Amino acid sequence: MIVFANSKINLGLRVLEKRADGYHNIETVFYPIGWCDALEAMENKGTGGISLNVSGIPLADISGADNLCVKLYRLLQKEYNLPSVQVWLHKAIPVGAGLGGGSSDAAHFIKMLNALFKLGLTHGKMKEHVSKVGSDCAFFIDNKPAIAEGRGDVLEPINLDLSDWHIAVVYPRLAISTAEAYSLVKPGKNSAPLKDIVLNGNVGSWKNNLINDFEEPVIKKYPAIGAIREKLYANGAAYASLTGSGSAVYGIFRHEPDTETLFREYKTWKGKLTLPL
């Protein structure tokens, strides 16, 4: 079985108070986009649990022990007595970019395991399991636009369709860990709900109203990220922003942008903001 695990962008992101468990409460809007990893899994008739083979973008953890798919499999194996599996992961979504690639891989992996081994898991149960390995994993189970609160795992679907718009994502070949990003940002107070800003305005109105709290401190440390955002605006983006805690920056356009020419030195992806089926 082969699936394509898509990424996401954040439309605004507010970092609120720090919680007793060490996480921060946040408010953000998740929106799925078409930049994908490829994931294949099949039952391994031998023994040994999970065998992970990675191609594409190299991962720092060669053993795979920190990979969310591996963590998820080991968690599920205890409860469901899963057979051994062979997994091939082709990484195309940059790591440490704020695009949710690892979280998406885990969410799509549990859906594969559910189908392969007829586990009978509901969407709610799959969300419960994947939330144990990553804060934003649960979003990719439904894979539809949603307001995310709590640590990113409390989701409210919203009726948002940007399919008429184009997106360009620019990855500056710089990975920013979540821990590093949170060390740079100061929790703030909630103001107007992001849901109201996103749904009651148009994309062109977001520039001055839809804020990612990580942007200012991340750009201060890594000025190249700010330069990418300004270049997107200068070349016609109606809205441009850091996604998640970075380091990728995206621009939303009425027409397809020429990112290949504009950002030759960086890794880029572009497409329509069409929602997954």
Domain layout of the chain by residue ranges? 2-157, 166-272
pTM assigned to the model: 0.96
- What is the 8-class DSSP label of residue 98? S
Q: What is the reported pLDDT for 80?
A: 95
Q: What is the reported pLDDT for 201?
A: 81
Which listed residue (37, 105, 136, 213) is catalytic? 136
Beta strands per DSSP E along the chain = 2-18, 24-43, 50-56, 85-91, 146-149, 154-157, 166-171, 239-242, 249-253, 267-272
- What is the 8-class DSSP label of residue 273? -
| CA 12/CA 258 separation, integer angstroms | 25
Mean pLDDT by 10 residues, the chain (277 residues): 98 93 93 99 87 92 84 95 95 96 98 98 98 96 98 96 98 92 86 90 93 96 98 98 97 96 96 94
| CA 6/CA 100 separation, integer angstroms | 9
| CA 268/CA 259 separation, integer angstroms | 7
Q: Is the preceding omega at residue 183 within 30 degrees of 0, hence cis?
A: no
Q: What is the reported pLDDT for 63?
A: 67
Which class is domain 2-157? alpha beta
Do 114 and 78 touch, CB atoms closer than 8 A?
no
Q: What is the reported pLDDT for 188?
A: 80
Q: Is 136 a catalytic residue?
A: yes
Q: Is 127 a catalytic residue?
A: no
Architecture of the domain delimited by 166-272: 2-Layer Sandwich (3.30)
Cα dihedral across residues 156, 159, 163, 166: positive or negative: negative
Q: What is the reported pLDDT for 154?
A: 96
| CA 179/CA 162 separation, integer angstroms | 31
Q: What is the reported pLDDT for 62?
A: 61
Q: Alpha helices, DSSP H only, in 43-192?
A: 68-80, 101-116, 123-130, 139-142, 178-184
